[in-house]
Amino acid sequence: MGAMDTSLGQVIRADVTDENDQYFYAQVDGVTYEIDKQELEKPLKVGGMVTGFAYQNEQHRLQITKTIPAVQKDQYAWGTVVNSRSDLGVFVNIGLANKDLVVSLDDLPTMKELWPKAGDRLLLSIKEDNKDRLWGKLAQQDVIQAVSRQARLNAGVKKGEKIKATVYRNKLVGTLVLTEDYYLGFIHPSQREAEPRLGEVVTARVLGVNDRGIVNLSLKPLAYKLMDEDAQFLLIQLQRKADHFLPFNDKSDPEAIKKQFGFSKSQFKRALGRLYKERLIIQVDDGIQLTEAGMKD
């Protein structure tokens, strides 16, 4: 089998040696591959050459296809996850009719709930083991770095805008993603309700860009969307004031509250509580003051 090692998972040229009703056969270094006649637009000639992608199909037969996948040895591209097997890994469709690529469980997160699900996408290339089997090789940081570009605020990404991004690494410090525009992104654990899966495509909100050109993202809804109208109203009042301060707190006179905001003292206290809990305001001696988070939202 030694001669085969180098040819699988990439484009090769082979001599067409034979045919039957279903297949043409082609050889390289004495190794024979089949070519499915159904996929050919025009027939091959026995004695001629064929160029195509070489692999082993699901029936463990060697095949050359003219439908050349973007994912190859030393060539990274996106593949779509089709399913998974907990004792093996996840199966990825790279565009071959009768072969999915497996990404081994050794290369996947230890927590099974973070494994990619059907429909998720992975950036990968092909690697071969010592038994001539082809596996999916996930893009590591150096590859991601090479395909990505640096983000700059207001020149590509805007604060508060929603963007789509794909998770390429789950780390303790947070989730690493690649945006649709190939910017590197980071989601801090405090900016998500649950940890997204490897390969999951998330819609995230831009918080800012750090000095390395990485976009800081949030999966949490805007705080005011989680609030009732009274709290929203109060937040907007504070945001509109130049000093972001209001001379009212939970000890203020109910009449003064009613006159200023148009709601009762109990409504006012509840709204204060919501904003306080979301860390959007702080209580100061003679009133309430917007926090930096409150100004962003």
**For the segment 203-262, what is each residue's pLDDT rounded down to a tens digit?**
999 999 999 999 999 998 776 566 678 888 899 889 999 999 999 988 899 999 999 888
pLDDT of residue 3: 45
DSSP-H helix ranges across the chain: 141-147, 229-240, 254-261, 265-277, 292-296
**Rounded to an integer, what distance in angstroms lies between the CA atom of residue 8 and that of residue 233?**
64
Residue with tokens 């204060």, as numbered in its chain:
272
CATH superfamily, domain 150-218, is Nucleic acid-binding proteins (2.40.50.140)
CA 239 to chain centroid: 34
109, 115 in Cβ contact below 8 A?
Answer: yes
Helices (H) and strands (E) in the chain, counts: 5, 18
pLDDT of residue 1: 42
CATH topology of domain 77-139: OB fold (Dihydrolipoamide Acetyltransferase, E2P) (2.40.50)
Nearest partner of 96 among 60, 122, 70, 120, judged by Cα: 70
pLDDT of residue 154: 83
Nearest partner of 108 among 136, 127, 134, 129, judged by Cα: 136
Same fold flag, 77-139 and 150-218: yes
pLDDT of residue 233: 87
| Exposed e or buried b per residue across 182-208, where buried means at least 16 C-beta atoms within 10 angstroms of its C-beta | ebbbbbeeebbeebbbbbbebebbbbe
Q: 2-65 in CATH: which number?
A: 2.40.50.330
pTM: predicted TM-score of the whole model, two decimal places: 0.74
Nearest partner of 183 among 160, 211, 151, judged by Cα: 151
16, 49 in Cβ contact below 8 A?
Answer: yes
Q: Where are the domains of the chain?
A: 2-65, 77-139, 150-218, 223-296
pLDDT of residue 70: 96
Q: Does domain 223-296 have CATH number 3.30.930.10?
A: no
290, 231 in Cβ contact below 8 A?
Answer: no
pLDDT of residue 4: 46
Low-confidence ranges of the chain (pLDDT < 70): 1-6, 223-227, 297
